[in-house]
Chains A and B, each alone.
Chain A
């Protein structure tokens, strides 16, 4: 698996898109620091961008890489390699190179700005960790969609729909439920609802760490009680890990049964 990972990783590192992605984050980091002139504020702005953009890029790159490397995959399948190592190697190659672009692209400007002497370091680390989790999750989901759809256009369509659903539509539905049942106590329900969507979960996690939960009103207080504690943090990370593990397991399962 490590050999496949190595080749996929090099393959991506040589492609223009990894640099574009890296350069984008570099630029974003520099511009935000320049405009805000304050690390904490820059972290908040960055969160809003990352929460939406990282899943989108993970989804698109995952689907694109899978379809583009079809020939490479077929070549590998005839070699004495396990299917699970071929697909896991490719998945990790994509996910790790994307994560690296994110970490380095944002890390470099922030470190130069004096991140290590600032109190924002924990918030920034949390942001980077959730960003990496989101990359792992959405690349895995994208691989799942691509494995199940031979047709590229369909695959792309479903992948974008999935992103749209989790990033935007889910929130809308969630909000509508809250409005419709506003006469009932909804704190537990909204907590569960947040847990079930990795994007919402990451957003809440960062917002509450940033101590701006007052903006969220009563529910915010309940959330603060939960996510603010170590238990909440651990449960959230467990949820994010499950969101990575389940799609990865399905990649292994699905790839074993697929015809090429």
Chain B
């Protein structure tokens, strides 16, 4: 699904990614973990083509993404901070994204699922952080793409919405999709992910299942296993 070879990226003097090699197979949920500033978002943005790597090759579904934009039709992306144009209404934003990406009818079901009907005619600038995140989720999941990238999907969500999000992720997984998640909420990661990729100082420190990590670090639970890497 996604292959990354020898990826380097630095912002000025700050080297963020230092030779990342990663291959993500089709189907399943992959969590990208790592401490703050380890390059998780940079890695994800490189896959999306928002950050231009200094060196290295990325291919998505067998296609080299360099100088290409069409491949993003096959990716649904949930950005980390839901910043939307504040003078647009929720309805208009959904309509606009549909206009740009192609039509879908999935949005009605999602709007109902996250109880967004009362907000459809409100301006995005007036919404709370959690509601914005729900809009963000609707925009991401309303298209039927084989690769879904979620950057901190749980931010600001209330417990009920969190459960709905987890169900949604599982449903997409059972449809055979590949889902890439970053999160700091370890319980969430443990619950949903099939495999984890641990980034440390711009390199891949560990890749495998949570069980592998526990065995490797000799720790009984996931949270301590992660903590023992960082110590």
Selected from B11, B77, B83, B99, the residue in CB contact (under 8 A) with A78 is B77
**Complex: A52 Cα to B92 Cα, angstroms:** 37
Tell me the number of A-to-B contacts counted with CB atoms below 8 Å: 60
Cross-chain contact B84 with A71 (CB below 8 angstroms): yes
Q: Is B61 an interface residue (CB 8 A)?
A: no
Q: Which one of A30-38, A79-87, A199-207 is at the B interface?
A: A79-87
Selected from B51, B52, B73, B87, the residue in CB contact (under 8 A) with A11 is B87
Q: How far is the CB of A79 from chain B (nearest CB, A)?
A: 5
Q: Which of A212-260 contact B (CB under 8 A)?
A: 256-260
Q: Is B231 an interface residue (CB 8 A)?
A: no
Selected from B51, B69, B85, the residue in CB contact (under 8 A) with A80 is B69
Q: Which residues of B contact A74 (CB under 8 A)?
A: 50, 79, 83
**Complex: A7 Cα to B84 Cα, angstroms:** 14
Q: Which of B75-90 contact A (CB under 8 A)?
A: 75, 77, 79, 83-88
Determine the residue in chain A with the shortest Cβ distance to B136.
Answer: A75
Known: A74-B79, A75-B84. 7 other contacts (CB 8 A): A15-B87, A74-B50, A78-B72, A79-B97, A82-B69, A259-B50, A259-B52
Asked, given contacts A3-B99, A11-B85, A75-B84, whether A80 binds B70 with beta carbons under 8 Å apart, the answer is yes
**Complex: A14 Cα to B86 Cα, angstroms:** 13
**Complex: A77 Cα to B86 Cα, angstroms:** 17
Q: Is A72 an interface residue (CB 8 A)?
A: yes
**Complex: A252 Cα to B49 Cα, angstroms:** 16
**Complex: A137 Cα to B70 Cα, angstroms:** 31
Q: Is B101 an interface residue (CB 8 A)?
A: yes
**Complex: A71 Cα to B79 Cα, angstroms:** 11
Q: Which of A73-100 contact B (CB under 8 A)?
A: 74-83
Q: Is A151 an interface residue (CB 8 A)?
A: no
Asked, given contacts A11-B87, A259-B11, whether A81 binds B50 with beta carbons under 8 Å apart, the answer is no
Q: How far is the CB of B92 from chain A (nearest CB, A)?
A: 9
Q: Which of A11, A69, A72 has the most CB of B within 10 A?
A: A72
Cross-chain contact B50 with A260 (CB below 8 angstroms): yes
Q: Is B96 an interface residue (CB 8 A)?
A: yes
**Complex: A106 Cα to B79 Cα, angstroms:** 44
Q: Which residues of B contact A15 (CB under 8 A)?
A: 87
Selected from A7, A83, A258, the residue in CB contact (under 8 A) with B69 is A83
Determine the residue in chain A with the shortest Cβ distance to B76.
Answer: A78
Selected from B49, B70, B72, B85, the residue in CB contact (under 8 A) with A72 is B85
Q: How far is the CB of A202 from chain B (nearest CB, A)?
A: 34
**Complex: A81 Cα to B72 Cα, angstroms:** 8
Q: Is B71 an interface residue (CB 8 A)?
A: yes
Q: Which of B15-49 contact A (CB under 8 A)?
A: 45, 48-49
